Structure formats: structure tokens, C-alpha cells
Amino acid sequence: MAKLSDKKKRWIKNEAKDFSFLLPSLVIFIIIIIIPLISGIRYTFTDWNGMSKNINYVGLKNYFTVFQDKDLLLPIRNTAIFTLVTMVLINALGLGLAMMVEKEFKGVNVIKSIVFIPLIVSLVLVSYMWMYVYSDFFGMLGWPSPLISKKTVLLGLCAMAIWKEVGLAMMIYLAALKGVSSDYYEAATIDGAGFWAKFKNITIPMIAPAFTYCIPLWLAGGLRMYDYSYVATQGGPSHASESMAYYIYQYLFPFNKVGYGQTVAVLYLIFCIILSNVITRMLRRREIEL
């Protein structure tokens, strides 16, 4: 057997050193994510209630039940509406605010702070704060709380998420805008281009990587929405704000139907991964074209 060269030995030593830094995170990831995921997949073939020592295997029964479960349609609808509304408005408002605060003016840092501060507040606290706003402040104005109506409850939850997350979107888009050279805008101005022409032909193409990051970020955030639905409304009224994550939680814990809950969770995870990858690939392809 040929001996390893000194260069090869140094390469192996460096790789081992780099891997040693990664190892703790990898172990934690395997323990917290991979092992529970594998166990969860196994439970999809059972009718386990989460507490019994006896686990009965039922084959593909849970999977057939999922596709026949009409109760799933409402959580799917609610999650789709919440995701679409929050993803579009957070990105649109974040970009608009970023364009507004890009130019230096008196009080700009105060505006940035006011918009960004909600991001550091926990989701649970945000839910309680907005429950107070909807019940007390809206009440003083004579307006009903949107959380008590089936027609407006999702919009109420969307407002919570937008208020909390728009600051992060603003900072990401602001960083992207700072990287766009002013020479492009000056040349466009000389050519007689207006605001919309500059925005469409310069701003959008130049900050395309920011869109590639932000859109999948809040797509994933909407798809996994749980806290607002749980804390503020408990999925009500009449399941009008019940998200897919909250639906899965109910079957896993209060209903003690772990087998079925895990089946819904696994199928939903597969759907989310596919959708996120498709959207990300489309945005990256568009980024290259621009």
C-alpha cells in the first residue's frame, strides 16, 4: 500500500479538524430531527395513542384515511390564505419601507427601530398584545374584534404576523438596495426614465437575490403557522383559524391519535418540501435570467 503524501495527510487533518467543529451540531440535529422523524414515519403505520405500550400496526390505513378526511379541507384553506396574504404583504411592505428609509433623513433611524423592534418580541407575546388591541382598543373605537368572526379572524392573525415580521423584510431589502450602484439610476434619469421604469428595470433585477431569500422564507413561515392560531383563537371560531400545524397538534396530543396525526404531519412535510424547492428553483432561475 502506497504511503500517503504529506499534502494528502495535511488535507485529511484539515478536513478532520473542520468536521470536529461540525460534529456537535450534527449530533444534535440527528437526535432532535432525524431520529424523531424516522420514529414518526414508523408510527404512521400504527394506531398508537401516544401512551399505550402496545403498538398495533394497521398498514396503510392512516394514509387512506387522510385522503378521505373532509375535515382537512378547512385547515388547508386557512393555511393557504394565511400563507399567501402574509407572504405577499410582508415582502411588499418590507420592500416599500426599505425604499423609504434608504435615503438618509432626520428621524430615519427612529423609523427603522420602530419597524424592527416587533421582531424581537416572542410570537406568544405578540398574540397576547394583539388580543388586547383587538378587544380593548378596537372596542373603544366601536369596532368588533376580528378574532370573533369567522369572516375576519384570518385577517386578524395575518395582521399580527405582518406587524411582527415586516421589520426583518425591510432590513433584508434595505441591505440589497444599498448594494445597487447609484450610477444606474443617474443614467436612467438622464435617459428620461421615471420612477416606475427605474423600479421595474433596475431595482427589481438588481435585488433579485433578496426575493429569492425572502419569498421562500415567509412561504415556509406561513405553512408552519401554529402560535397565532393556538394562543389567540384556539383554532376558532368554528375552526375558521385552524391551521395545518394546529390540526396536527390536536391529533397528536388532545385527541391522542398519534398514528393518524403523524401521517398527516409526514404528508404535509413532503408537500412543504416539494413546494419550497419548486418556488426556490423558479426564483433562482428568474434571478439568473434577470
pLDDT, one tens digit per residue, over 160-190 is 999 999 999 999 999 999 998 888 888 988 8
Please give the residue that has the higher pLDDT: either 96 or 6: 96
Confidence of residue 212 (pLDDT cuts 50, 70, 90): very high
**What's the pLDDT at 21?**
86
Confidence of residue 68 (pLDDT cuts 50, 70, 90): very high
For domain 62-287, the CATH superfamily is MetI-like (1.10.3720.10)
Q: Would you say 268 and 196 are in contact if contact means Cβ atoms under 8 Å apart?
A: no
289 pLDDT exceeds 80? no
Distances (CA, A) of 143 to 82, 138, 152, 240: 22, 5, 12, 20
88 pLDDT exceeds 70? yes
Of the listed ranges 6-20, 31-45, 48-62, the least confidently predicted one is: 6-20
Residue whose grid cell is 500500500? 1
**Cα separation, 1 vs 76, whole angstroms:** 61
Mean pLDDT score of the chain: 90
Confidence of residue 4 (pLDDT cuts 50, 70, 90): low
206 pLDDT exceeds 60? yes
Closest to 198 measured CA to CA, from 283, 190, 165: 190
Q: What is the DSSP letter of 2?
A: P
Q: Would you say 87 and 96 are in contact if contact means Cβ atoms under 8 Å apart?
A: no
Residue whose grid cell is 398574540? 127
215 pLDDT exceeds 90? yes
Closest to 160 measured CA to CA, from 182, 197, 142, 134: 134
What are φ and ψ of residue 193, in 5° steps?
-75, 140
**What's the pLDDT at 50?**
84
**What's the pLDDT at 191?**
86
SS3 label, residue 72: helix
**What's the pLDDT at 107?**
84
**What's the pLDDT at 91?**
96
Average of per-residue pLDDT across 102-108 = 84
Tens digit of pLDDT for each residue in 224-249?
999 999 999 999 999 999 999 999 99
1 pLDDT exceeds 60? no
Confidence of residue 269 (pLDDT cuts 50, 70, 90): very high
Bridge partners (DSSP) listed for residue 57? 46
Closest to 147 measured CA to CA, from 227, 236, 74, 231: 236
Average of per-residue pLDDT across 203-209 = 92
**Which percentage of the chain shows pLDDT scores above 70?**
97
**Cα separation, 223 vs 269, whole angstroms:** 10
**What's the pLDDT at 10?**
81
**Cα separation, 209 vs 284, whole angstroms:** 8
Q: Residue 183's Cα: distance from chain center in Å?
A: 35
Confidence of residue 278 (pLDDT cuts 50, 70, 90): very high
Tens digit of pLDDT for each residue in 118-162?
998 888 899 999 999 999 888 888 889 999 999 999 999 999 999
**What's the pLDDT at 105?**
82
